[in-house]
Amino acid sequence: MPNLILMVALFLLLCIGLRMIFEPSFLKKIIGLGLFGHAINLSLLLSGWTAPQYPKIGRAAFLGGLSFENSSDPLPQALILTAIVIGFALTGFLILFHLMGEKESS
Amino acid sequence: MSLEASNLQFLCLILLVLHALNFTRFTSFSFIGASSLAFIAGLCFQNGLAPSHWALAEMSWSNLREFFFLLVSGLGIIIGIYSHIYMANYEPKERSRFFGYLGLFQWTCLLLVVSNHIYLFATAWELTSLTSFLLIGFDRNSPRAQRGAIQAFLVTGLGGVCLLGSLILLSQHFHTNFIDELILKIANQPSQASTLATALLMLAALTKSAQFPFHFWLPDAMHAPTPVSAYLHSATLVKLGVFLVALFWPGFQHIILWHVGLSGLGLITFAWGAGFAIFQTDMKAALANTTYSQLGLMMMLFSLSSDKARAAGFVVLLAHAFYKSSLFLSVGIISKATKSLDLRHCAGALRHSKLFLYLFAMAIFSLIAAPGSLGFVGKEWVMNILSGPFASNFAKYFSWICFVLGAYATILFGVLLFLRLYKAPSMPTPAKGHELTTSLALSFGILPILGILFGCFLDPILSWLHQLVPMIESLETPFAHLLGGNFFLSLLILVAGSWSAYKLSGDRKFLNKDWGEKFKTWSFSQIVQKICLVEIPRRLETTTAWFESKISKNAAQIAFLFFILLMLPLIDSLRWPALFDLPIEALAFVASVSAAGLLALTIYFISHSMTQIFLLGTVGYLVAFAYANFGAPDLVLTQIIIETASLVLLVFAWLLSNERKKSGAEKLGTLSSLYSWLFSIGVSIFLIGFLFLSPLAGGFQKLSSLYFFENANALAFGINIVNVIIVDFRGLDTLGEISVLALAAMGAQALYQRRFRVRQISPHPFSSDWTRRLAKIFSLALMLFGVFYLLRGHHAPGGGFIGGGLGSLSLAIWMMSYGKPVYGPFWALSGLVIAYASALLPQILGLHFFESFLSLMGPSSLFFDIGVFAVVTGSVASLLEILYAMWNEEQGRRTHA
């Protein structure tokens, strides 16, 4: 059952994010992009542990007392970490681009 | 004294600093100084330029690197002195720009010659193209120079991309990132090198050296100032292609595509260039034609698998370096004296100064390879090689025909050039330019003299060749077969060429005709310029406009169609996931994600933008909570900090946007809305399907390998594996990412005010004395907190990205309460410098590129993390700053109105 809920929730995030990108209003597009980004980051995180028991949660990936089997996967985390920051820069740049365009056209 | 390669990086740094001085008032002196320093240092490298730990120091091609190092720096000295006199009447600003570019070129060229890591090599290769582009387009008022520059950059730049592709393919296949190891491994198993990689490598060499299908860019590059033509486009830059071929020779010499392709194209170029040089009326373009013709000869010699050919190649290369740059520099003198580059207006230019006449005659002597010059030695050896066995009769006839044609045309061109320039002028020229002629001629006088001296006394050349090509058993002097058939053939060519030149020099009709115009419509360069600079941009524009007009209204429908196509293969693998009981963290994870999903649904149905923005923030924090439950503390910190920053960003965007003022926002049409719903739902199902279905089929495994767990502490000296991956194992990726980040911030600054810092900014209207005091404490605390997170990143949650996020928030608070600019690009740039320096630092200490080591202050990747910290701080803060400044501006406008 929890899997089903997780699926539906991720589905909602993805779907609403995508749908809002289609809105004509610029701010809604940006909000949609944010939602979509969250959904993708979460999916990436989930892909870190491809066990039959899904999702299996590990402990933080630090050495010392932890083995490879019972810690969560560090690689997707590293990817997401940079993706969050790059996503922010992208959003900022997009907003600025739009605002400069508005300024010029008015 | 002998220097080691570990000193090499220091040398490069010193040279960079010296060359940076070129942009100041020191111009020519710092350039000459840097060249001399490099030359002397190059002489001191006893071992060739291979460091001891490169393990292959004794192999011949490390001497090759040294030879090119000396060539580039030694010619740099002469060109520096010449340009000092030549550029004397330019404005100081122009002079410093010229020497600055020239210095940058020299530096990148030396970097290319000494670099061993494939990425460094490819970067330096591309940088030489870039600096060449800057120098060709030096004259900003001449559209022809600009066109030539773009064309040269397109051709050589694409060649650089080919080089990168080839090196990546090879390094993937042979599992090494170092060029010398790569060559050794290819030499051991030549059949393993893929055809694609070989062809791409050949393309890189052919484009850089302007060989046959790509020869057209070189004559057009001649709009650069003359010293540039003499330095880049005859002696150094265009020889890099030959350098590449010579460098990879041990690996590729037995590959048929390599030596048949390169030698065939080289021979065609040899005949083609020399033939067309005769018809050119522009002196520099004519010399450019002979340049790529000679490069074709070298390309042929270096691609063959015999040691003799290689030795001959080195001799031709050296002779060419001596005479071709002096010919170019002479043309510079002539154009100074007669104010023209057209051969038809320069008759008698050689009579201005006796010294100049002799030097020019010596250079021509070398060009036509008359006995007693270094060129003669090279040519005799080439003929010796051509007399050897051939794979087929066709190859034999083809080679001989191309060679004889090329040699004949070269002699014809050289003698004709001399005769036309020596002929008595139709009207006498004023004598005041003659002193300048003499002093300019003195500055490069050593080059043609050396060409003749080495041609007469062969001993130093032979011992030098033994160093470069150690495997060779014996080299016979070209005088050994004085009475052989080859010698008579070369004499015959010489006499025939000179005789036809003498005949042609009397033919007025031939001399006065504008051959350039005749060939213009069908020349390669015209066609390429037309396609690349006119046709493609126009086509692209019309296509985009058409696409936009058709697509913009129906985007949702079209995206839906694409999606249906994508969906088809997945449909039959659709299965339902199983249900399980879960521990508490998992439940919390599921709960927070589902709360986020429900909030997303709410966001869609709320129409007020500000509410939507805050709800998006809530979603972000919920996602952070989900991360916390998944066991990803680094992500929690990053997510919270960045979510805060983007909330601020979005609020400012909302305040500034016009949409706020409009009542009744526009909406999507019913049909488009329907299709976009269908598309979104479909894509989401598709993605979720991938995520949830694949693990059911597969076994129990993680994405990342055990490798990170086993080696994090041993290789990278850290226990927070996430951070270790970011700054160490995948450090190169992070380097790219922070570069993008810094570019985004600087691009935003450029977009906003076309300068590197925000000009006007004032404190937030709500700020008062006590908020400022509070802000001081808070921003200081935040910054300290950020540094704390940065420093502990290797062993606990934290690192450069998280610390940088906190740092940027601290800067933003400071900016808003005091109204001071944050100098984001400065932070970002210095961060980039730190990051790149720390990537190069291990090389100075004799380790591999990006290898980490344990320094006194902790693991070396800490320095890299500091760079990341500065970049993130600067770029995030500068994005916030720009939006704040825009809001400030509008606020000011409203109070005025």
Q: What are the tens digits of pLDDT across the range B640-677?
A: 999 999 999 999 999 888 777 665 566 777 888 888 88
Q: Is the pLDDT of residue B742 over 80?
A: yes
Interface membership of A19 toward B (CB under 8 Å) = yes
pLDDT band at B688 (very low <50, low <70, confident <90, very high): confident
Which residue range(s) make up the domain with A35? 2-105
Q: What are the tens digits of pLDDT across the range B830-844?
A: 999 999 888 887 777
Per-residue pLDDT, averaged over A42-56, amounts to 63
* Cβ-defined contact of A4 to B579 (cutoff 8 Å): yes
Per-residue pLDDT, averaged over B384-401, amounts to 83
Comparison of pLDDT for B582 and B603, the residue scoring more: B603
Nearest CA in chain B to A61: B721
Comparison of pLDDT for B561 and B326, the residue scoring more: B326
Q: pLDDT at position B1, please?
A: 36
- Rg for chain B (alpha carbons), in Å? 33
CA within 13 Å, CB half, B855 = 14
Residues from chain B contacting residue A11 (CB–CB below 8 Å): 597, 684-685, 688
* Cβ-defined contact of A47 to B691 (cutoff 8 Å): yes
Q: pLDDT at position B719, please?
A: 81
Interface membership of A81 toward B (CB under 8 Å) = yes
Q: pLDDT at position B260, please?
A: 87
* Cβ-defined contact of B692 to A82 (cutoff 8 Å): no
* Cβ-defined contact of A99 to B886 (cutoff 8 Å): yes
Nearest CA in chain B to A94: B748
Comparison of pLDDT for B562 and B334, the residue scoring more: B334
Distance of CA B131 to the CA centre of its chain: 9
Interface membership of A56 toward B (CB under 8 Å) = yes
* Cβ-defined contact of B741 to A14 (cutoff 8 Å): no
Residues from chain B contacting residue A29 (CB–CB below 8 Å): none
Tell which of A8, A16, A33, A94 to mutate to test the B interface (max B CBs under 10 Å). A16
Q: Is the pLDDT of residue B700 over 50?
A: no
Q: Is the pLDDT of residue B579 over 60?
A: no
Among B277-286, B529-538, B754-763, the least confident range: B754-763
- Find the length of chain B: 897
Nearest CA in chain B to A12: B597
Comparison of pLDDT for B581 and B30, the residue scoring more: B30
* Cβ-defined contact of A12 to B701 (cutoff 8 Å): no
Nearest CA in chain B to A99: B657
Tell which of A40, A57, A72, A103 to mutate to test the B interface (max B CBs under 10 Å). A57
pLDDT band at B808 (very low <50, low <70, confident <90, very high): very high
- DSSP letters spanning chain A: -HHHHHHHHHHHHHHHHHHHHTSSSHHHHHHHHHHHHHHHHHHHHHTTEE-SSSSPP-B--BSSS--STTB--HHHHHHHHHHHHHHHHHHHHHHHHHHHHHHHH-
- Give Cα separations from A21 to A29, A91, B95, B299 (angstroms): 4, 13, 52, 55
Q: What are the tens digits of pLDDT across the range B441-483?
A: 777 888 888 888 887 777 777 777 777 766 665 666 656 555 5
Percentage of chain B surpassing pLDDT 90?
15
User: 29-48 in A: which are within 8 Å (CB) of B?
Assistant: 30-31, 34-35, 38, 41-43, 45-48
Rounded CA-CA distance B783/B487 in Å is 79
Comparison of pLDDT for B496 and B343, the residue scoring more: B496
pLDDT band at B67 (very low <50, low <70, confident <90, very high): confident
- Choose among B340, B348, B283, B326: nearest CA to B449: B326
pLDDT band at B704 (very low <50, low <70, confident <90, very high): low
What's the total number of domains in chain A? 1
Per-residue pLDDT, averaged over A24-52, amounts to 82
Q: pLDDT at position B55, please?
A: 37
Output the pTM of the full model. Answer: 0.65
Nearest CA in chain A to B731: A78
Q: pLDDT at position B699, please?
A: 46
Q: pLDDT at position B427, please?
A: 59
Rounded CA-CA distance B817/B822 in Å is 12
Q: What are the tens digits of pLDDT across the range B152-211?
A: 998 999 999 999 999 999 988 888 888 888 888 888 887 777 889 999 999 999 999 988
User: Which residue is associated with the tokens 């980004």?
Assistant: A37
Q: pLDDT at position B786, please?
A: 93
Among A73-77, B477-481, B785-789, B866-870, the least confident range: B477-481
Q: Is the pLDDT of residue B696 over 60?
A: no
Q: What are the tens digits of pLDDT across the range B751-781?
A: 887 666 666 788 888 888 888 888 888 999 9
Of B620, B635, B712, which is closest to A81 when you measure between CB atoms?
Answer: B635
